[in-house]
Structure 1
Amino acid sequence: MTLTFPVCSQEGVLRVATIKLKNPPVNSLSLELLTEFVISWEKLENDKSCRGVILTSNIPKIFSAGLDITEMCGKNAAHYAEFWKAVQELWLKLYTSNMVVIAAINGSSPAGGCLMSLASDYRIMADDPKYTIGLNETLLGIVAPFWLKDTLVNTIGNRASEHALQRGLLFPPADAFKIGLVDQIVPEDKVQSTALSMMSEWLTIPDHARQLTKTMMRKPTVDQLLKQREADIQNFVGFISKDSIQKSLHMYLKFLKERKG
């Protein structure tokens, strides 16, 4: 299993589930993990007694290192298309969920990890300066998709987003909190308990009113992707298939292997 999936359980008066990412060593978002995540998420959505989900990591010091580079390197166009559609689906499931989604960020959360965090309703991060969060795609020679860019703009504003995206900035917790990238920073051993406490606050709000408000706020961003979904996939396939991009990704993989060695 790449993630643990407890069925909705009673937490005091709450009916909440916890999803713990578990894909060693760094919770890379592989096609397998993305597929399994979506299947698990749909099970939760279909459990009408479940009102909230806490999303966290089962691996110390890392929430998720982001998209699995090996899925974008040395494969064919059909694989790249399947992978990118799964990435889109992950974001859509999280961003449009009727459930309250709280990200309990108990480690570093670059790129795809930040994507998952941004798509949540509330973000709590462990206050350890060694941990960072942000969209660092440009440092790998790739570009964040327009719908992820829009999600960031919706969260921290246009100017801060432009600055962060162009430079591929990764923010330590205090800076992430300062710009509104995360909503709360707490000691690492308090992340889970704080997430449960915040969940109890969110669930005092009538579901129908909260859900309609969430949909209203997020619909323009969601509709943009739904209208351009196939074009977005083809744009990704064309971009990632370029010789220059493949060379850049191969070099990055080589660097990672040498660093591990």
Structure 2
Amino acid sequence: MTTLIKRIDHGDIRELRLDRAPVNALDPMLCAQLAETIRQAVADGVDGIVLSGGPKVFSAGLDVPFLLTLPDRNALKAAWEQFFLAARELAACPVPVAAALNGHAPAGGCVLALCCDYRVMADGPYRIGLNETRVGLVAPVGIQHLMRRVVGAHRAERLLVSGEMLEAQQALAIGLVDELTDIDSVPARALAWLEELLQLPRKPVLATRAIARADIVEALRPENIELDRFIDAWNDPDTQAGLQALVAKLGK
């Protein structure tokens, strides 16, 4: 089986690097391996995880061209379930996870970042956001909650409705990311944040973190994603038009 996640140990912290060229598009295999490597890292006793991607694209989100080739509703639903499984593993991870956003993070890439504890992004013309409306999709209630808890209800409404993608400096200004650095230093800064956090008393930190992040776990429960409704909308003419336009743009 092709390995799509690189594992790099930094002492008691493990970096999981998305490694599906060219843009780390999230297909079922990559999502399944991400969920498994998170579980394995915890089983191995790591104290923290860095989730990285790149170069220049952390993750381009779901692999839409692949999704459009799937033969039926069941296959499509199974593919989306793998993505949400990976997101839930990040959200429920019992040790802190720092996202190293060394490039663009649209849609599904942004969702993964929002499931992490801390987000370090490359400074420059790199963009992050939930741009679902621009390709004809509606972000589920639970995903919208992830954006609201980070940037506030009013700003989240504006971003979600417009599907706007923010450049790094804008994302920092509204708290969508926590820190900017040059692109080559992003994983190192994410690692440094974790190392500093791990200097604090471990049990109180983990217990406080679990309480503070309980809403993320709740937001990603199946009843807050309503995947069947999401799949029902997939074949809506507006949605299909948006998705086909996206694929045409990617092909240029």
Structure 1 length normalisation: TM-score? Answer: 0.89
2:7 is matched with 5
**Residues 145 and 219 of structure 2 are in contact (CA less than 8 Å); yes or no, is this contact kept in structure 1?**
no
The Cα of 1:101 is off from its aligned counterpart by 0.4
Amino acid at match of 1:121: D
Q: Say whether residues 1:239 and 2:236 are aligned partners.
A: no
Please, which of 55, 60, 78 is the counterpart of residue 82 of structure 1? Answer: 78
1:26 is matched with 23
Bigger shift: 18-27 or 71-80? 71-80
Q: Say whether residues 1:43 and 2:45 are aligned partners.
A: no
1:141 is matched with 136
CA change 1:108–1:165 in 2 (3 A) is same
SS at match of 1:23: coil
SS at match of 1:66: coil
CA change 1:227–1:189 in 2 (3 A) is closer
Structure 2 length normalisation: TM-score? Answer: 0.92
The Cα of 1:212 is off from its aligned counterpart by 2.1
**Offset from partner CA, 1:153-183 (integer Å, 9 cap, x none):** 1111000100011111111111100000000
Amino acid at match of 1:22: D
SS at match of 2:34: helix
Question: How many angstroms apart in 1 are the aligned matches of 2:219 and 2:188?
Answer: 36
Amino acid at match of 1:72: L
Question: How many angstroms apart in 2 are the aligned matches of 1:153 and 1:181?
Answer: 10
Question: How many angstroms apart in 2 are the aligned matches of 1:188 and 1:163?
Answer: 28
**Offset from partner CA, 1:201-260 (integer Å, 9 cap, x none):** 11122332222222222223423543616x712112211133442343223212321x1x
SS at match of 1:102: strand
Cα RMSD (Å) of the superposition? 1.7
Any residues of structure 2 matched to 1:240-255 within 5 Å, and which? 240-255=234-249
**Residues 143 and 219 of structure 2 are in contact (CA less than 8 Å); yes or no, is this contact kept in structure 1?**
no
The Cα of 1:98 is off from its aligned counterpart by 1.0
Name the count of aligned residue pairs.
249
Question: How many angstroms apart in 1 are the aligned matches of 2:95 and 2:89?
Answer: 10
**Offset from partner CA, 1:104-159 (integer Å, 9 cap, x none):** 1111111111111111111111111x211111111101111211110111111000
CA change 1:200–1:224 in 2 (3 A) is closer
Question: How many angstroms apart in 1 are the aligned matches of 2:10 and 2:226?
Answer: 38
Amino acid at match of 1:28: A
The Cα of 1:84 is off from its aligned counterpart by 1.7
Please, which of 188, 193, 196 is the counterpart of residue 198 of structure 1? Answer: 193
